[in-house]
Amino acid sequence: MRSRYVDVDDASEDFRELLADEPEIAKDFLVRYELSWLYHDCALEGVVLSNQELAMALARQPVAEATSVNLFREVQNHKAAIDLVRAEAAGKKLRINLTLVKKIYETLGAGIESKAVAEYRKEIPLHRAYFHEIAQPAKIAFQLGKVLDACDSSDFRALHPVQQAARIGHGFMQVYPFTENSGKVARMLSNLVLLHSGYLPCVIHATDRQRYYESLRGAETVLRELMLDSLGNALANGEKYVREAMAHRAKKAAR
């Protein structure tokens, strides 16, 4: 396992240097990567968006259909939550607490009546996307407190950032505090940890949706392996994208 951390650390450092050397290409890559983050994070929740829908939502283009209005608002809120997490990650000290959890949740649900206020669920939902065991409603506050308090411990701080990200994401989902958007909040917290440590956010692809769901039924290590795979793929594809853009630029200049 240690060699996998070394691999992702080395690849991340090399990719950061590559991006620093190519600021224009880096800017384009990061915009595309964030769109990928939005697309796949929605797809993990069963909402598959077209490129046109994403573009229209982010451009805040007016739509008439009520379903599109709600969908576009959710995309816009999702982007606002990503911006919030990026701003938090840029701080000197990482603070993962209940205040932040509620802020992320309410950013994701802004303007949507059923999701606007961060209230713990009061029942075990019968029909839900996730099928792992979750906390009984009466135990949510206590169990979530334990998960969040652990993030401020010396043991947590001693972990590799990918371990930290998997631990908070897996632990949060075992509690599953909110009827909706618990998955999105959990992944935002994981990516907050990664961004704070200088890594790309972990984008788990829609093709790994079932694997992601299964990882929540197993030990934290199963989710950690999936995150390592996702980060490794992102770094490899990112390097390929940048080098192909460089080659295209060189070819164009030579004409």
What integer pLDDT is reported at residue 2 of this predicted model? 67
Q: What is the pTM of this model?
A: 0.94
What integer pLDDT is reported at residue 126 of this predicted model? 74
What are residue 227's phi and psi, to 5 degrees?
-65, -40
What integer pLDDT is reported at residue 110 of this predicted model? 94
pLDDT digit string (tens) for 172-212? Answer: 999 999 999 999 999 999 999 999 999 999 999 999 999 99
In angstroms, the Cα distances linking 45 to 20, 128, 206 are: 34, 10, 9
Q: What are the average pLDDT values for consecutive 10-residue runs of the chain, which has 255 residues?
A: 88 97 97 96 93 88 65 94 97 94 97 90 84 95 98 95 98 96 97 97 97 96 97 97 95 84
Give the number of domains in the chain.
1
C-alpha–C-alpha distance, residues 170 and 175, integer Å: 9
Specify the 3-state DSSP secondary structure of 120.
coil
Domain CATH code at residue 210: 1.10.3290.10
Domain that holds residue 44: 2-254
What integer pLDDT is reported at residue 65 of this predicted model? 59
Token pair belonging to 68? 């599109």
Alpha helices in the chain (DSSP H): 2-21, 23-44, 51-58, 66-89, 98-108, 140-150, 154-157, 161-175, 182-196, 209-217, 220-254
What integer pLDDT is reported at residue 1 of this predicted model? 58
